[in-house]
Amino acid sequence: MSADLAAKGRAILETLVGFDTTSRLSNLALIEWVEEYLSGFGITGRRVPNADGTKANFYATVGPDVEGGVILSGHSDVVPIDGQDWSSDPWTVTERDGRLHGRGTSDMKAFIALALAAVPRFQEGKRPVHIALSYDEEVGCKGAPDLIASIADHVPAPALAIVGEPTSMAVVTGHKGIALHEVRVRGHEAHSSLTHLGVSANMVAIGLMGELAALAEGLKGRADPDSPFTPPHATLTVGMMSGGTASNILARDARFVFDLRCPPGQDPLEILAPFMERIAAVDAELKARFPECGVSVERLSHTPPLAPVPDGPAEAFVRSLTGDNGPALAVSYAAEAGQFARAGFATVLCGPGSIEQAHQPDEWITLEQIDRGAAFMERLAARLKE
């Protein structure tokens, strides 16, 4: 039976990959397709739109409207292909050497496709499956909080949540959190030979990034030797930076974006407090020279970590389906599982594909992982019949 489900899941995956749901774009076309697909089984879901209606979360209950169901959660957005060298069309699933290539095949449209393929099986259960799709996970897990709140308000209490990030179908019980910030510097333009007549936003930004680099180095000394995370400490990196208009002009504007990823038990706001104080001091110094100058910082996201719960109910349940008897795993990337857990849902990560293939040119998932994901959905459907 799982071979049939795998084939159906692959067909749905081809459709889902065909929607360019890069985070900067709308995901509504994909959501509309899922709604139409589910309507064919007599299932009506609920949209949870963003503020301007250009994107939407979506969830639907498959099976009886009772407590004790299982949430299968996946994000609909994908990362950009900009600047990547692809061997085939990123928006068309292409099979090569036992691998399915395409943007989102691994992260994480295969999980969504297999959950949708299993809908007829889930409808036979005594307990439901709640299929939940979010937007803007890749840019800070921005959509999930409203999705989770709506599920909590409108769905009979589920037993647990499975976030289908690519884990090679291993059970992952913990992940780091992420605090994403953008820093903007406004300088005062002048000829680059006359530095006393202006302020280079670039030079100010470089100084601030240097302080972050020192902070990042210092975080290594705060590592917990018993941490399940690799690396075992919080990490800080500057992922984007820009500024200036010409080499001989003191830059008027500069910006950079950095992320701080903390394991459970470490507070990113506490870690960043000295840097924020430095931002305020530099801002005051610049304004004292030129009133229009200054430094501002905006927190773009603050996604909580998922703290491992030893022998928790979600872990035990999912291990019983996967047969995974290995040690508990924790990952250093951030995901929406921490948000589900913070809302009171027992939660783990488990999905087909590998995070090592995510975000890469020629992103791929193996056919073997599709088969394993299909078998998982079959076993879940069987368990919910009991």
Q: Which of 14, 36, 85, 137 is catalytic?
A: 137
- Could you count the other beta carbons within 10 Å of the beta carbon of residue 206? 15
Secondary structure class of 41 (helix, strand, coil): coil
**Mean pLDDT score, 311-319:** 95
Task: Judge whether residue 1 has pLDDT over 80.
Answer: no
Structure tokens at 234: 């919080």
DSSP run (H or E) holding 378? helix 367-385
**Mean pLDDT score, 60-70:** 98
Q: Which of 32, 36, 52, 77 is catalytic?
A: 77
C-alpha distances in angstroms, 338 versus 37, 349, 364? 29, 10, 26
Task: Judge whether residue 74 has pLDDT over 90.
Answer: yes
**Mean pLDDT score, 320-333:** 91
- Could you count the other beta carbons within 10 Å of the beta carbon of residue 351? 31
Assign 64 a pLDDT band (cuts: 50, 70, 90).
very high
**Mean pLDDT score, 351-361:** 96
pTM above 0.85, yes or no: yes
Assign 147 a pLDDT band (cuts: 50, 70, 90).
very high
- At which residue do the structure tokens 């018993």 appear? 226
Nearest to 261 by CA among 359, 325, 331, 319: 331
Task: Judge whether residue 374 has pLDDT over 90.
Answer: yes
In order of their start, the domains of the chain are 2-175+305-385 (3.40.630.10), 177-303 (3.30.70.360)
Q: Is 137 a catalytic residue?
A: yes
